[in-house]
Structure 1
Amino acid sequence: MVLVFRWLFRISVFCVSLVVLGLLITYYLASRSLPDYDKTLPVSGITADIEIVRDNAAVPHIMALSDRDAFFGLGYAHAQDRLWQMTVLRRTVQGRLSEIFGTRTVEIDTMLRRLDLYPLAVQSLQHQDAATLDALEAYSAGVNARINEINSSSLGRGAPELFLFEAPIAPWQPADSIAMIKLMALQLSGHMREEILRARTSLLLDDAARLSDILPDSPGRGVAALPKYADLVPGALPRFATNQVLPDFLSTIPEPGLAGASNAWAAAPERSAGRGTLLANDPHLELTAPSIWYLARLQLADGGVIGGTIPGIPAILVGRSEKIAWGITSSYMDDQDLHIEELNPDNPEEYRTPDGFKPFVTRKTIINIKDAAPVTLTLRWTDNGPVLPRSSFDIESILPQNHVASLSWTALSDKDTSMSGAIGLMSATSVENALDVSRSYIAPSQNLVLIDEERVAMKLVGAMPRRDPGHQSRGRLPSPGWIAANRWQGMLPYSSNPEFLAPQGGIVGNTNNKSIDAPFPNHVSYDWGDTQRVQRWQGLMQGRKVHTRDSFIEAQLDTVSITARTLLPLIGRDLWFTGEAAAEGTPERQRQRALDLLANWNGEMNEHLPEPLIYAAWLRALQERLIRDDLGQLADRFRHVEPLFIERVFRNVDGAAKWCDVIRSIKVESCSDISRLALDDALIWIEEHHGSALESLRWGDAHSATHRHATLGEVPLLHFFMNIKQSTSGGDHTLLRGRTSGVDPEPFANVHGGAYRGVYDFADPDSSVFIISTGQSGHFLSRHYEDLGQLWRRGEYIPMSLDVGLARAASVGITRLVKP
């Protein structure tokens, strides 16, 4: 027995030793790729020495004597910190993910190959201006300098992920960066999915009038510039008011509701306490680890520029220079049209056009797949654009027999000069100059919010399709591609894009809301990203005569839901004070307790409160009850509550209360009946997932932000190290937007929000601040992998100064790239 015990002990010690040894070897190999920020490195391809000063948040301040060397330094810094992220993004847009991930990414590769984005980026290279070509070449050389350093110095392949996935890294090319912008356009464009959803819904609904309930148009004339404060509040005193609100009133193509969003607003000197212009911006994208954003400062010939970049793109996309500051929001311009193409019944290689049948333009391409046979695709193009797979995005559900679908989209341009616009903006010296430079933008379309020392402006940038006034669906539904009126007729001139320059009220802004109310075909869009946040924004902006950097921060972090304040009195109006006293432990008693909490709630979606969770669960259950019997399985596509739909139903706008009656029951249900049943559904769900003690609930437990690693976020054990999870405030309809997933088992998880926040104050430019949602490094062993994440969660910022002396004073290292 003693002998057996001894051998068991020896075997256990041996196994534990092997595990420890394996962990030590793994740690050693992974740590080899940790970037060293404090070194001198000889590199070729630079004209003079470059100094990269990393401040205490690891933000690189790139000091160079020429623009070319500055872009070289940015490429090197991006590759130092985010090489794996850049590799995956490049493979995504090239349609080459399956070479390293196998069969699970074939569908993504197939879609990207059919869209042909990378070949279009290669063709667009020759259309960039000279300064942009120079920047692209220098940036590529900087990335490749880091790759060469990794290979020559055995620096752990450059990233820990490269030990797990056999992914040889080809040298970076200038076209790769242009392709990154096209990939960004894809992730910000949701109109194709909206067209399909609208088509499927219209096919199911017996009453066509009900389509405008569940997929409502944004009301109102549009909001972009606010009126003069004095016109709104005659005789107002020059003091700060308390916050006021208005009265009631890995897929690459985003799901409806998860396309790009954002907030941006600006104040002219007359609306600023410091008499300098102000700008706040927080672009909303999917939350990932590391963040898609990367903070950087460049010293260019025209001066310093600092802000947010996306690794792979050599430009400050949001930020400020010494002369101007700029922010972006998704414009929601309708830049995509889906066309139904009829095949020739006698020859399926031809499709119908206004002039008869015509052969597809075709090309073969091969997708290589890890551990599987390669797949050969035949890419097909029509006059309207590339033919999409029938099996993707529910397209097959709306296609007649003997038809295919093609896509018209502004990003499918082989003369895309968006990169020239992004590079040129960094050197702009005034609002007017920036507006002129931005005519180069093609896609993605954005609202560009600008300030210089004296003026504010907002301009929709990006190519706007020219549609025929006789378009059959006005771009709202997939339309027959062989009818000439449904085809695009080129692009509208840049001058026709909506512009708001130096408005009289001194404030411009956008929360993805409807910005103009122009007739078709100059309408910009029928589908906008917000009808709710803008109401709160208007109240906060007009609640003060003048603003400060801190009041802009306060608005950026505001968690009050105007939606909750509007909808709760509607859906609960017959429930608040009705019903008899109920015994403890009964469903009726639990319902009363929930209603009591909500009756005393001010609509603040604070992570520490129970009311936001009760409210969110109630609204979700309510919409489910309203639409499930009408839409069946299609109800699964409506993952987020549509406030305008709920309001239309409970106000019975144009007979919308019809949704409350359950089709399959004999009884005629009222909206109060459905509201009560939905509240009971919500309380049952809450008890199953969070317990029955309502007063102890925390919204932040359900609304946790999970910054998921794109490739290792679902891997057992590894996800504990790679993902970053945080309790967060806000919600779908608050200015501090934390878009929920809408998918079980965590329907309220925060998956899409302002991963970058910046506030710029030209009264004191060095008091400007910014933050990202994780950290600068993409290496999970780095202390800079998530160090900014807790600041972001708490609504804190770091300084955004162009003073290199401040960066040096608390630097974590200085990298010197020198000529050999």
Structure 2
Amino acid sequence: MSLLIQWLMRIASALVILSVLAVLFVYYLASRSLPNYDKTLQTTAVVAPLEIVRDNANVPHIFGDNDQDVFFALGYAHAQDRLWQMIMLRRTVQGRLSEVLGTQTLETDTLMRRLDLASHARASVSSQDDATLIALRAYANGVNTRIDEINLNALGRGAPELFLFPQAIAPWVPADSIGIQKLMALQMTGHLEHEVLRARVSLALDDPKRLDDILPVAPGTGVAALPEYASLMPGLAPETAYTPSRHAALSPFPKYGMAGASNAWAAATTRSASGGTLLASDPHLGLSAPAIWYLARLELEAGGVIGGTIPGLPAVITGRSDNLGWGLTAAHADDQDLFIEELNPENAQEYRTPQGFKPFRTRKSIINIKDASPVTVTLRWTENGPVLPGSLYNIASVTPPGHVAALGWTALSDKDTSVSAIMGLMRARDIGQAVMASKAHVAPAMNLTLADNENIALKVIGHMPRRSENHQSKGRMPSLGWREENRWQGSFPFTTNPGFVAPVGGIVGNTNNKVIDRPFPLHMSYVWGDSQRIERWKRLMQARQVHTRDSFVEAQLDTVSYTARALLPLVGADLWFTGEAAPDGTRERQRQRALSLLSEWNGEMNEHLPEPLLFAAWMRALQDRLIRDQIGPLADTFTHVDPVFIERVFRDVDGASAWCDVRQSAPVETCADMARLALDDALVSIEERYGTQIESLRWGDAHQAVHNHQVLGSVPVLRFFVNIRQSTSGGDNTLQRGLTRGTGDRPFENVHAAGYRGVYDFADPDSSVFIISTGQSGHFLSRFYDDLAQLWRRGEYIPMSLDADLARAAAVGITRIQPPAQ
């Protein structure tokens, strides 16, 4: 017996030793890809010696004698820190995720092949200006030099993730960068889904008057009545609107309410305490680990530029130079249309056009799949654009039998010069030059906020489709593609894009709100990204005669919800301090406690308070009760509360209080009834997850910022190393925006926020500050993987200085790149 125990102990010890050795071996392999920032590299790809100085936050400051070498070094630095991220972005554009991830991403690959962004990117290379072509090629050489270095020196394949996916890394080419820019455009454009959703709701509602309640136009001048969707699409059955929809794995198509957002504003010298112009910028995208943003400083021939870059693109997307600062927000211009194309009953390979039936333009595309047989997809195009599958946003539910749907979108251009526009911004010396450079921007439509040493401005950039005055749906719902009046007639000239230069009030800004109200077809959009944050922003801007860098920082970090302040008195009007005293443990007593807390709350969505969770859960439950009776399972699509809808209902705008009555019940419910029932629903859901002591609730426990690794974030054990979680303040409608997930058992998680924040003061440019949401490195073993995350969570920043000595003073490494010795 003792001998058996001895052998069991030996075996157990051996297993433990082997496990430790295996872990150490895996750590060794993974750590091989940690970049060495302090070294000398020789390459024939550069003309003259240059340096990449990494400051104490690992922000690369690149110093070279010419722009070509500087962009080479940026490509090299991006590949050092974010190679895996760049490869995944490129694979997404090309529709090649399934080669490494298997069948789970086949649907996404099929969608991307149908859009054919990669082909459009390749065709657009020749349309770039000479300076941009030089930069794109130099950047690609920098990326490829790093890839070659990894292969020659066995540097752990460049990133730990690449050990799990052993495919060879293809060389980087200029088209890859243009493709990533187009991918960003896709993630920031939500009109396609909104068109489909509007059509589905139109089919589901008994009373067409209620359509503008649930999908309201942004406050302002109203819109002429539109026909019901069923009248536009004969033969389409209303019940098809109830077909459930889903989102493909790793799909870059934005979910409802999660297309691009952002804040940016500027103050003129007359409104600045320092006497210099001010600019604040915080673009909002989906949170991830690592963040999509990467901080960098480039010393170009035109001067130094510093700010946020996107790995894969050789440009500072938002940032500043010595003379100019720029920020971007999604303009929400209507640059997409869905066209319903009729198939030829005699030949399904043809579709109807104004001139009769024509054959589709087609091409076969083979999708290779890991551990599965390849799939061949037949891609089809009409004159209006690529044919999309019915599964995307449930397009099939609004497509009559014998028809297909094609997408018109400004980004589907073979002459897309948007990258040239970004490059031109970095070279611009003042607002005039910046606006001229942005004329080349195609997609997505953006609000460009500018500040130079003398003035401020806002200009909408990007192509805006020209539609006929007789367009059947005015671009708000899918339209018949063979009717001439529905087809695009080119684009409006750049001069028609709204612009505001040197405003009299000395303040300009945008929070994705409506920027102009013009009649169709000169309008920009009927769908805007914000009607709430702008109200709080206006109050903060008008509260001071002059502003400072710190007041702009304060506004960026503001967590007061205008929505809460506006809706609570309205929704709770008949509930405050009413009813008889109720004993502890009863539902009525719990409701009274919640109402008592909310009645004394100032609307601040602070992570340490219970009131934000009570408010968010109440409004979520209220909207669901109001709409589910009317539109059934389609209510699941409305994952976020629309404050304008709630206000219309409780103010009974155009009879909108009809939503409060449950049609299937005998009694006639009032809006006060629905508010009370919804509060009970909210309290039940909170108690099930967080307990009954509502005074002890913390918004931050529910509103955790979720920075997930795109692929490894769901892998057991590994997810604890690669994902980042943080308790955060803010909410869907605060300036410090933290858009909630809206679905699942954790609907209040923060999944879409300002991954970059920057504030620039041109009276003292080196006092400017910025931050990103994770860290510079994409390597989870690096100390720079999440070192900026806690600063970001606490609302802190790091200096944005173009002073070379400051960068060198606390450098964590200097990479010297030299041409070979003669």
**What TM-score bracket applies, with the shorter chain setting the length?**
over 0.9
Partner Cα separation in structure 2 for residue 615 and residue 7 of structure 1: 62
Could you tell me whether the CA contact under 8 Å between 2:267 and 2:507 is conserved in 1? yes
Aligned residues of 1:306 and 1:316 also touching (Cα < 8 A): yes
Instruction: Give the Å deviation of 1:10.
Output: 1.5
Following superposition, the deviation at residue 117 of structure 1 comes to 0.5
Question: Does 2:401 correspond to 1:401?
Answer: yes
Q: CA deviation at 1:41?
A: 1.0
In structure 2, the partner of 1:65 is 65
Which residue in 2 is equivalent to 1:116?
Answer: 116
Deviations 1:373-416 (A, max 9, x none): 11111111101000001222201111110000000000000000
Per-residue displacement from partner, 1:257-307 (whole Å, max 9, x unpaired)?
Answer: 000000000000000001100000000000000000000000000110000
Contact 2:418 2:440 in 1 (8 A): yes
The corresponding residue for 1:805 is 805
SS at match of 2:427: coil
Question: How far apart are 1:157 and its partner, in Å?
Answer: 0.2
User: 2:611: which partner in 1?
Assistant: 611
Give the match for residue 692 of structure 2: 692
- Partner-residue secondary structure (3-state), 2:372: coil
Q: Which amino acid aligns with 2:109?
A: D
Q: How does 1:764-803 map to 2 (within 5 A)?
A: 764-803=764-803
Aligned to 1:10: 10
What does residue 255 of structure 1 align with?
A: 255
Per-residue deviation, residues 562-616 of structure 1 (Å, max 9, x unmatched)? 0000100111111112100000111111111000000000000000000000000
Task: Work out whether residues 285 and 753 of structure 1, in 8 Å CA contact, stay in contact via their aligned partners in 2.
Answer: yes
Write the deviation string for residues 691-747 of structure 1: whole angstroms up to 9, x where unpaired.
Answer: 111111000000000101011111111110010000000000000000000011110
Query: SS state of the match for residue 439, structure 2?
Result: helix
Cα pair distance change 1:385/1:63, threshold 3 Å: same
Give the aligned residue type for 1:682. Answer: A
C-alpha separation between the residues in 2 aligned to 1:82 and 1:216? 41
Matched, 1:746 2:746: yes
**Paired residues of 1:221 and 1:516 also in contact (CA < 8 A):** no
Asked if residue 579 in structure 1 is aligned to residue 582 in structure 2, the reply is no
Distance, in Å, in 1 between the alignment partners of 2:444 and 2:43 is 35
Q: Which residue number in structure 2 is paired with residue 103 of structure 1?
A: 103
Question: RMSD in angstroms over aligned alpha carbons?
Answer: 0.8
Residues 1:371 and 2:371 are matched in the alignment = yes
Structure 1 residue 444 corresponds to structure 2 residue 483: no
SS at match of 1:33: coil
Instruction: Report the Cα distance in structure 2 between the residues aligned to 1:169 and 1:758, rounded to whole angstroms.
Output: 34
The corresponding residue for 2:181 is 181
Find the aligned partners of 1:190 and 1:161 in 2 and give their Cα distance: 31
Work out the CA distance in 1 between the residues paired with 2:320 and 2:407: 36
Q: Contact 1:218/1:526 (CA < 8 Å) preserved in 2?
A: yes
TM-superposition CA deviations, 1:455-480 (whole Å, max 9, x none): 10000011110111110000000000
Question: How far apart are the structure 2 equivalents of 1:668 and 1:786?
Answer: 54
In structure 1, what residue type is equivalent to 2:127? H
Contact 2:458–2:501 (8 Å) recurs in 1: yes
Alignment of 1:29-108 (within 5 A): 29-108=29-108
Equivalence for 1:233: none
Q: Which amino acid aligns with 2:578?
A: T
Look up the match of 1:720: 720
Partners of 1:375 and 1:635 in 2: how far apart?
A: 35
Aligned to 2:592: 592
Contact in 1 for aligned 2:185/2:411 (Cα 8 Å): yes
Larger deviation: 8-17 or 726-735? Answer: 8-17
Whole-Å separation in 2 of the counterparts to 1:744 and 1:113:
30
Task: Tell me the residue number matched to 2:128.
Answer: 128
Q: Contact between 1:339 and 1:384, CA under 8 Å: does it hold in 2?
A: yes
What CA distance in whole angstroms lies between the structure 2 residues aligned with 1:175 and 1:675? 54
Q: Please say if residues 607 and 729 of structure 1, whose CA atoms lie closer than 8 Å, have aligned partners that are also in contact.
A: yes
Q: Is the 8 A contact 1:627 1:659 kept in 2?
A: yes
Indicate the residue corresponding to 1:341 in structure 2.
341
Structure 2 matches for 1:222-621, cutoff 5 A? Answer: 250-621=250-621
2: distance between equivalents of 1:526 and 1:221? 11
Match of 1:242 in 2: none
- Residue 15 of structure 2: SS of its match in structure 1? helix
Which residue identity lines up with residue 557 of structure 2 in the other structure? Answer: L
Instruction: Specify the code of the residue in structure 1 equivalent to 2:790.
Output: Q
Q: What is the TM-score normalised by the length of structure 1?
A: 0.96
| Alpha-carbon offset, residue 444 of structure 1 | 1.3
Find the residue that maps to 1:805 and give its secondary structure. Answer: helix
Q: Deviations over 1:669-711 (max 9, x none)?
A: 1111111011011011000011111111000000000101011
Q: Which residue in 2 is equivalent to 1:231? A: none
Instruction: Determine the structure 1 residue equivalent to 2:229.
Output: none
User: How far does the alpha carbon of each residue in 1:482-501 deviate from its partner, in whole angstroms, 9 at most, with x for none?
Assistant: 00010001111111100001
- In structure 1, the partner of 2:233 is none
1:235 is matched with none
Maintained 8 Å contact 1:260/1:284: yes
Structure 1 residue 19, shift from structure 2 partner: 1.2
- Percent identity, please: 67
Q: Which residue of 1 aligns with 2:169?
A: 169
SS in 1 for 2:33: coil
d(CA) in 2 for partners of 1:256 and 1:190? 7
Partner AA of 2:348 in structure 1: P
Find the residue that maps to 1:199 and give its secondary structure.
helix
1:110, 1:413 → 2: CA distance? Answer: 20
CA contact (8 A) 2:577 2:596 kept: no
Deviation at 1:9, TM superposition (A): 1.5
> Distance in 2 between the 1:174 and 1:609 partners?
49
**Distance across 2 between alignment mates of 1:39 and 1:182:** 35
Letter in 2 for 1:653: V
Task: Name the aligned partner's letter for residue 317 of structure 1.
Answer: I
State the match for 2:814 in structure 1: 814
Deviation per CA, 1:633-674, whole angstroms, max 9, x where unpaired? 100000000000000111111111111111111011111111
- Residue aligned with 2:392, SS: coil
What is the match of residue 216 of structure 1? 216
Q: Which amino acid aligns with 1:410?
A: T
- CA distance, structure 2, for counterparts of residue 649 and residue 6 of structure 1: 76
Structure 1 position 167, deviation (Å): 2.8
Deviation at residue 3 of structure 1 after TM alignment: 2.3
| 2:577–2:592 Cα contact (<8 Å) kept | no
| 1:137, distance to aligned residue in structure 2 (A) | 0.5
Supply the AA of the counterpart residue of 2:481.
Answer: G
- For 2:598 and 2:372, locate their aligned partners in 1 and report how far apart those are by CA, in whole Å: 56
- Corresponding position of 2:155: 155
Counterpart-to-counterpart distance in 2, 1:166 and 1:634 = 42
Cα distance, 1:221 vs structure 2:
6.3
Query: What is the distance in 2 between the residues matched to 1:539 and 1:167?
Result: 54
Aligned to 1:400, the other structure's residue is in SS state: coil
Instruction: Find the aligned partners of 2:816 and 2:221 in 1 and give their Cα distance.
Output: 55
Q: Give the C-alpha shift of residue 220 in structure 1.
A: 2.4
Q: Which runs of 5+ in 1 are unaligned?
A: 223-249
Q: Which amino acid aligns with 1:467?
A: R
Q: How many residues align?
A: 793
The residue identity in structure 2 corresponding to 1:695 is: E
Which residue in 1 is equivalent to 2:242? Answer: none
- Measured in 2, the distance between the counterparts of 1:476 and 1:186 equals 18
CA distance in 1, matches of 2:806, 2:167: 39
